[in-house]
Structures are given as structure tokens and as C-alpha cells.
Amino acid sequence: MFPVIYSMVVPIVLLDLSMSLYRAACFPLYRISKVDRSQFVAIDRHRLAYLNISEKLNCTYCGYANGVLAYAREIAARTA
């Protein structure tokens, strides 16, 4: 069964792309310090050996989604 929570992957990817484009276009223009995406989006918990395949998928999704939301929050905070 496909959990409903995974239906949010498309909006999260779109948020990631739009925030990255916004940062790339506007931050240099207004001389705002750069936000390093890799500090927020960390996909590494799927490497834990004791997780089964569905738990690894969940950890990957959770790490990406929470990282993108933190990245967007940081961009919004530096813009305001």
C-alpha cells in the first residue's frame, strides 16, 4: 500500500526548485548572504544497516522533506 504521505513529494520538489531559483536570482541582486542547501538537506539515515527497505525509503523521504522545509524557512528568514 502506498502511504498518502508520499503524495506530497511533488509539491516538496517544486518548493525545492522554486526556492533554489529564487535564491539564485534574488540573493546576489540584493547582496544577501548565500544559503548553502547542503546544510539543510541531509539524506544519510538510509545507510543504517538495521533498517529494512521501507524504513530506508521513509528515512530518505523524511530527510529530504524536512531538509527542504528548513531550507525554505532559512531563505524566507534572510529575505524578510
* pLDDT of 2: 67
Q: 65: Cβ–Cβ under 8 A, 6 or more apart, which residues?
A: 8, 9, 12
User: Distance (Å, rounded) from C-alpha 54 to C-alpha 3?
Assistant: 11
Instruction: Give pLDDT tens digits for 12-46.
Output: 999 999 999 999 999 999 999 999 999 999 888 87
Average pLDDT over residues 50-73: 94
User: Distance (Å, rounded) from C-alpha 5 to C-alpha 41?
Assistant: 19
Q: Which of these, 15, 30, 33, lies nearest to 71 by C-alpha position?
A: 15
Average pLDDT over residues 36-64: 90
Q: Is 15 helix (H, G, I), strand (E, B) or coil?
A: helix
**Mean pLDDT of all residues in the chain?**
93
Kindly report the pTM of this predicted structure: 0.89
Whether 1 has a pLDDT exceeding 60, the answer reads: no
* pLDDT of 5: 87
